Structure 1
Amino acid sequence: MTRWFLIVLALVCAAVHSVPAAAPFELKEGDRVIFLGDTLIEREQHYGWIELMLTTRFPDRNVTFRNLGWSADLPNGESRLGLSLGQAGNEPEGEGWKLLQKQIEETKPTVAFIGYGMAASFEGEARLPKFKEDYNRLLDAIEKIS
């Protein structure tokens, strides 16, 4: 048993060691950072710990932060429905996605922190393919807009 454990441990260490290090994260002068996600991200506007860590790590950089988080939101903007009180409950299909795209376009981000998943997890594993599809569509939209 010990022998197999040591063999597996050696293989894991070798695999980890062979992965090249990623370039360190850095904010650049003039970056426009957006926070996108569900409740955890939305509440960041009240506490500001992520923004505080970033501004103290890069104090010499002029960086703009915008929190576009929305409680219980999904990567397709579904929870943003009803933001227009005149339409509440009667929004056309895809209205939340259009609003999310518009908000991203207005901020013109160069950096995005994305934290989705908690709200979607309540629908179980069956929702995972749709979540991945919507998440990738969101990443593509941000890349296109930026």
Structure 2
Amino acid sequence: MTDDVPPLLPPDELPPTRAVSDLDRFWRSLKGRWGFSRPQLWCVVFGPLGEWTSIFLKIEDCPEQPDAATVVNLVDVLTTVVVDSVPGGSVAMMYARPGPDDRRADDREWARELDGAGRRAPIDVWPVFLANDERVRIAAPDDLAA
């Protein structure tokens, strides 16, 4: 995976998301060349074949540290959406914040909470991604270690 920004295509024109490299391209394409004005969480639901469903949630003004109960509730809501509206679909989540790519403790905490809630969900949840003004990247094993 590179940090080059792919061509900015509308989500419905992107190829299906079938591998982590596809998800990396998807997030980088959505982010574009711009940064973030405040911490936020992006969530997307893909169809059973990795296709765009237009179900996209952007939560702005996220706290610096995640609240575990709130993250679990969010994943529960996303699970309900998939089960009720997109059977066989999947969920992807990305925590984004303004600033440089300095791998902050808060980034790792968000990655751990999102990953943990996703692993407990009874649906397919993609690996968590992290983003900042400089870069989009998958949450590495070191980010997820306690």
Same fold (TM over 0.5): no
| TM-score of the two chains, using structure 1 as the length reference | 0.33
Structure of higher CA gyration radius? 1
